[in-house]
Structure 1
Amino acid sequence: MAHIEEISPKDVERKIEQNENTFLIDVREDEEVAEGMVPNAKHIPLAQIPNELDNLPKEQEYVMICRSGRRSMNAAEFMKERGFSNVKNMEGGMLNWDGELVF
C-alpha cells in the first residue's frame, strides 16, 4: 500500500486562499456534494476515478476529499500506485471542514 500524506483542512483552505496550483478532487456521491463542496474542488465520484486518470496530469499536486477521509484515502492510494507522485488526503474529510462551502 502506498504511503499517502495527509493535509489538514486548514492547510487546504490556505492553499485555496493563496491560489496555489493544487487540484482538489471530491470523490463523494452526487447527493453528498449537493450538501456543499470545498471551493475550487472538482467532483469525480470514487467509482469514476479509474476512468478519469488519463485526463489528469501526473505531475500535478492533488488533494483528495470525501466525507470522512476514508474513500479519499482509497482514491489517493489508487492514484499513487498508478504514477501520481504528489497526492494528499484531506484529513477527516468534510466532517472536519469549517471553511466556505459552494453549492
Structure 2
Amino acid sequence: MNEQAATAGEARPLTYMGLVDLCRARVTEIFPWDLVEEIEAGREPLILDVREPYEYQALHIADSLNVPRGVLEPACDWGYEETVPAIARARERDIVVVCRSGYRSIFAADTLQRMGYRSVRSLKTGLRGWNDYEQPLVDGAGNPLTLDDADAYFAAGPSDEQLGPRK
C-alpha cells in the first residue's frame, strides 16, 4: 500500500516525514564522519547548505555554499535572477547537501538528482549531527564557534504552539 493509500475512500495526505521518506528512498545519505574522511582525503565535495540565509549566518560549515531550498531549482539553472553560477556549473561535481537535521537536504538532494546532477548525497543528521561529532562550524563572518555556542543554537526546539494540539 503506498503513502497515499485510500482510507475510507479518500486519499490520506502525506506528513512531512512521509514526504521525507519518499525522497529518502531515492537519495544516498552519508554520516558526518564519512564527510570528514572525504575532506581529509582531499576529495573536497561541494557542500551545499540549503537552509535559510539567517540560519546560515548563525552557523555553517566553512566554505559551504548557501542556496536556500526555496530557490534551489532556479539557482541550479542558467538565465534566472536566482541563478548561482557555482551550483549551476556543478552538475558533474560531488555534492553533499546539508541542512539543520538532514530532512530538507533529502528534498534538495532528490531535486538535484532529478535535475541531472550526477553525484549528490545528503548529510544524515544534518549540521546537528556534524556538531555532535564535534566538527567545526563558523558564523556568518567566518569566525569559529565554540561547541557550547553551537550546542546552544541546536538546543532550541519547537515552541509549545508549534507542537500542536494536545489530545
Question: d(CA) in 1 for partners of 2:118 and 2:73?
Answer: 16
Question: d(CA) in 1 for partners of 2:98 and 2:129?
Answer: 11
Q: Which amino acid aligns with 1:53?
A: C
Bigger Rg, which one: 2
Contact map agreement 1:16 1:40 (CA 8 A) in 2: no
Q: Which amino acid aligns with 1:100?
A: P
Question: d(CA) in 1 for partners of 2:38 and 2:59?
Answer: 19
For residue 66 of structure 2, what is the aligned residue in structure 1? 43
State the number of aligned residues: 103
> Relative to total residues, which structure has the larger strand share, 1 or 2?
1
For residue 137 of structure 2, what is the aligned residue in structure 1? 101
What is the correspondence of 1:1-103 to structure 2 with a 5 Å cutoff? 3-54=26-77, 55-97=88-130, 98-103=134-139
Calculate percent identity across the aligned residue pairs: 29
Question: d(CA) in 2 for partners of 1:69 and 1:39?
Answer: 18
Unaligned residue ranges in structure 2 (runs of 5+): 1-22, 78-87, 140-167
C-alpha displacement at 1:34, in angstroms? Answer: 2.1
The runs of at least 4 aligned residues of structure 1 exceeding 6 Å deviation read none
The alignment's TM-score, normalised by the length of structure 2, stands at 0.57
Unaligned residue ranges in structure 1 (runs of 5+): none
